[in-house]
Amino acid sequence: MILRLWPVVLALGLIVSPLRAQPNEIRKSVARINNTMQEGNYRVPWLPGQLGGGSGTGWVVSADRILTNAHVVSNARFLTVEKEDDPKKYIATVEHIAHDCDLAILKVQDPAFFKNTKPLALGGIPELESTVSVFGYPIGGERLSVTQGVVSRIDFRTYTHSVLDSHLTIQIDAAINPGNSGGPVLQEGNVVGVAFQGFSGDVAQNVGYMIPTPVIRHFLKDIEDGHYDRYMDLSIGIANTQNPAMRKGLGLGDDDRGVMVSSVQSAGVCGGKLEVGDVLLSIDGHDIASDGMVELEGERVLMSEVAERKFLGDSVKLGVLRNKKPLDVTIKFDHAWPYLMQANAYDTQPTYILFGGLLFQPLSRNLLGAYRFQNDRISYFYDNFVTKEIYKEHPEVIVLSEILPDPINTYLSEFHDGIVDEINDHKIRTLKDAADAFAEKPEFYVIKFIGYARPLVLERSAVEAARERIRKRYNVLAEQNLSETEATSASR
């Protein structure tokens, strides 16, 4: 994990060696990763963000690639890797990165790094109460550290890197500290997980989490075609059917099967295929219990785990009870969930438009982290973006995030934090819509905000006269950026 305080829970092909690694082979195949990073500047988006740095751990996953956590190498400007008993710092680049499951593949420029290393083979899911060993470079140490712990829980949990995604995790009581992230967790010479997050000591003692091998294998399989497609998702909500009266009303028996569909997102793969009130009885032949769990490989896991193991283009078959009549529904995963506004964003530059000293930006978790908006409507749009399907009318929620004081925008502070609805009668659904409206040449620009009684009005001649004055006063390098250019493109 990148070095930071923890107040809360913080491929080129598959493994080529099926043999268990010996202790000395493991040590030679574990790397310390140093990241010089630069995050996007959401307060002043035309200027670069502050430089920072940190370190983590990685391990040799194939003959010439290293696997680590995405959060270890996010926003990278310059990466180096080191290995034990070798003083050289080797330059590396990010080849594949998956922010939704917090994994990444690195390519090392000098192939000499892999001399005397051996790819570590993947094992299975370790049993509860079994012992595992965690390899890494915690707290930025110069020497490899090895700690041991016991597997205490196998469960779905939020991956804090994106905040939006939840996947299978394994809880262990080994010490996992900043710098351990990306390091292999081994049992009997095989990798059974990747250390990636934990609690600070004032929240819980000796509680750490690792990414298990089903998630690692899914990532490695996904990138075999040279592109990462992201995890697939059913994009539905479910409600348990444990209440006897509810089960009777839905036409269910006493077999403790089935969950009710409580919501279906129209932008998801189930839109138009499932309906609210449907009862899901099975998924790909696995019976769904009344609490939403299925038995998979000897473990009880959430039914979403079956969907999680699918890839773009795959299908899943659902046994459904609709209006008390059985039917089969096939869902094809033809796209990933498209709206990621509520997730942390990395490796991108902020998008924005500066017009007449008014800064317009799409609402996002990153933007909320940069500003403390006082408009309750922003909180409502953000919190309910998916559940209320706000994305249907506003694929991007465009906010007037800042006003750079100038005579042209005097007395306009009441519109600060406002959500743009229309510009000259053009509905604004995306930032590009706003750019297109501002590119026109009317005498006045009339900007309407949601919930505001009067519009904001700018005179075109005054805007044009103020452009250079505002650019020079606030050192504006570019008046707009409409594409999320990858911040790490130069390092890849």
Read off the CATH number of the domain in which 454 is found: 3.20.190.20
Element at 370 (helix H, strand E): helix 365-370
Tell me whether residue 263 is one of the annotated catalytic residues: no
Whether 473 and 392 map to the same domain: the answer is yes
Structure tokens at 355: 């017009």
pLDDT reported for residue 20:
62
Tell me whether residue 102 is one of the annotated catalytic residues: yes
Tell me whether residue 86 is one of the annotated catalytic residues: no
| Catalytic option among 55, 71, 99, 222 | 71
Whether 199 and 57 map to the same domain: the answer is yes
- Residue 10 within a domain: no
pLDDT reported for residue 300:
87
pLDDT reported for residue 472:
97
pLDDT single digits (tens) 400-447: 999 999 999 999 999 999 999 999 999 999 999 999 999 999 999 999
pLDDT reported for residue 394:
97
Q: Could you say which of 179, 195, 225 is where a domain stops?
A: 225
Whether 252 and 206 map to the same domain: the answer is no
- Residue 340 within a domain: no
- Residue 302 within a domain: yes
| Catalytic option among 62, 181, 235, 401 | 181
What CATH number corresponds to the domain at position 320? 2.30.42.10
Q: Phi, psi at residue 476, to the nearest 5°?
A: -80, 115
Whether 147 and 185 map to the same domain: the answer is yes
How many domains, in total, are found in the chain? Answer: 3
Element at 450 (helix H, strand E): none
- Residue 72 within a domain: yes
Domain that holds residue 134: 23-225
pLDDT single digits (tens) 9-49: 343 333 333 456 666 789 999 999 999 999 999 999 999 99
Closest to 108 (Cα-Cα) out of 63, 61, 64, 73: 64
- Residue 214 within a domain: yes
Residues of the chain under the 50 pLDDT cut: 1-18, 486-492
Whether 159 and 269 map to the same domain: the answer is no
Whether 72 and 219 map to the same domain: the answer is yes
3-state secondary structure 162-205: CCCCEEEEEEECCCCCCCCCCCEEEECCEEEEEEEEECCCCCCC
CA distance 179 to 42: 27
- Residue 365 within a domain: yes
Q: Could you say which of 165, 197, 225 is where a domain stops?
A: 225
Beta carbons within 10 angstroms of residue 481's beta carbon: 18
| Catalytic option among 62, 99, 102, 282 | 102
pTM for the structure as a whole: 0.89
